[in-house]
């Protein structure tokens, strides 16, 4: 397709966004999207660029909700959508349809599902990782055994997600719609930044490491607030209910996306927790060894658990034994 044809499509997209397109023009845009994946990707990029410059929508929040309901009622979640014609909410319907196109084409090693048409969830297994792009252009890396959930209004009236597990985020800038990670204990708010967030339900601490930009954290009920600048880490202790912060090299926090782990003055308890999660082997750390500290840089994709534990034992700081598939650290 030549540049003039793309320009005509740009005009058509603009007409749909500003509610000036007719039902026939919407049909034309839908048919063009169906011709090939590159057309659909092009329209998605144009919409993302348009929304990045908008502070509000011409449609009310109620209109967006009704448009979402109508799309769900037409079976969007149950079968592939080829054409949707909604008259009063025409522009909103086009946006919602494109923002909710299945994200499987952007995923590596994860699963996306849409439970009951209400939300989208990306999940990884015990040894899986995922890299994908959200509808607003935000890049997400999910670590193993992690789940990210977002609503159908994501990128339209909010950018709210929930995360169970660990993820590294490069958030697309949008001052009008801050990106938020919500949890039972705290919320994390950013506009455009790079950070790592770890929230595993079986771990005592929740952590956020900031690489670029800024992060505002708030405990539920406004009990405590904190602002992070680059190379700072927030640690929320579930036992004390308090947040603390300290200085770190935040770039190390994303090494897991490269199948590497780096620990600086970390306790054996923290290290073994990460190794147990990655290798899916039971590791029991006895009280006398839990507080011993190590500096280590591990290539977990290339090294076996036995080799890593042997090297740590050779320092004389700990002793590791194995019995019936369980490792004991003393």
Tokens representing 163 are 């995360």
> What's the pLDDT at 87?
28
Residue 252: CA count within 13 A, CB half-sphere: 16
For 120-252, which CATH class? Answer: mainly beta
User: CA-based angle 265:306:294, to the nearest 5?
Assistant: 10
Each residue's pLDDT tens digit, 251-268: 888 888 877 888 878 888
Q: According to the model, what pLDDT value does residue 46 have?
A: 67
Q: Find tokens 């507080």 and name the residue.
A: 291
Distance CA 153, CA 218 (A): 23
Query: Which residue positions in the chain have pLDDT lower than 50?
Result: 51-117
What CATH number is given for 259-329 in this structure?
A: 3.55.50.30
Q: Please report the pLDDT score of residue 102 as a whole number.
A: 37
In this predicted structure, what is the pLDDT of residue 107?
41
The Cα–Cα gap between 195 and 254 comes to 8
Task: Tell if the pTM clears 0.85, that is, is over it.
Answer: no
pLDDT in the model for residue 180: 96
Please report how many Cα atoms fall inside a 13 Å half-sphere around the Cα of residue 204, on the Cβ side: 7
Cα dist from 141 to 256, 259, 300, whole Å: 10, 12, 17
pLDDT of residue 48: 57
Q: CA torsion angle for 35, 40, 43, 48 (degrees, to 10)?
A: 180
Looking at residue 54, what is its pLDDT? 44
pLDDT at residue 226, as a whole number: 94
């Amino acid at each position: 397709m030549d540049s003039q044809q793309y320009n005509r499509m740009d005009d058509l997209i603009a007409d749909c966004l500003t509610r000036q397109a007719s039902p026939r023009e919407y049909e034309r845009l839908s048919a063009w999207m169906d011709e090939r994946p590159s057309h659909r990707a092009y329209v998605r990029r144009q919409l993302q660029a348009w929304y990045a410059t908008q502070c509000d929508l011409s449609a009310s929040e109620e209109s967006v909700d009704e448009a979402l309901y109508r799309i769900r009622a037409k079976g969007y979640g149950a079968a592939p959508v080829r054409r949707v014609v909604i008259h009063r909410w025409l522009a909103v319907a086009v946006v919602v349809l494109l923002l909710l196109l299945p994200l499987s084409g952007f995923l590596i090693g994860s699963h996306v599902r849409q439970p009951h048409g209400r939300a989208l969830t990306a999940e990884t297994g015990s040894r899986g990782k995922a890299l994908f792009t959200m509808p607003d252009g935000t890049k997400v890396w999910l670590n193993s055994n992690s789940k990210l959930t977002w609503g159908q209004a994501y990128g339209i009236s909010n950018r709210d997600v929930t995360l169970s597990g660990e993820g590294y985020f490069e958030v697309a800038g949008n001052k009008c719609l801050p990106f938020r990670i919500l949890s039972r204990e705290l919320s994390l708010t950013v506009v455009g930044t790079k950070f790592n967030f770890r929230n595993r339900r079986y771990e005592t601490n929740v952590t956020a490491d900031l690489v670029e930009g800024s992060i505002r954290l708030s405990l539920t009920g406004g009990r405590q607030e904190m602002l992070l600048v680059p190379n700072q880490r927030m640690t929320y202790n579930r036992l004390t209910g308090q947040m603390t912060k300290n200085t770190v090299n935040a770039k190390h926090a994303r090494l897991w996306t490269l199948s590497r782990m780096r620990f600086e003055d970390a306790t054996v308890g923290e290290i073994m927790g990460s190794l147990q999660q990655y290798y899916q082997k039971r590791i029991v750390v006895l009280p006398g060894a839990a507080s011993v500290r190590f500096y280590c840089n591990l290539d977990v994709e290339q090294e076996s658990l036995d080799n890593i534990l042997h090297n740590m034992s050779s320092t004389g700081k700990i002793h590791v034994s194995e019995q019936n598939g369980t490792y004991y650290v003393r």
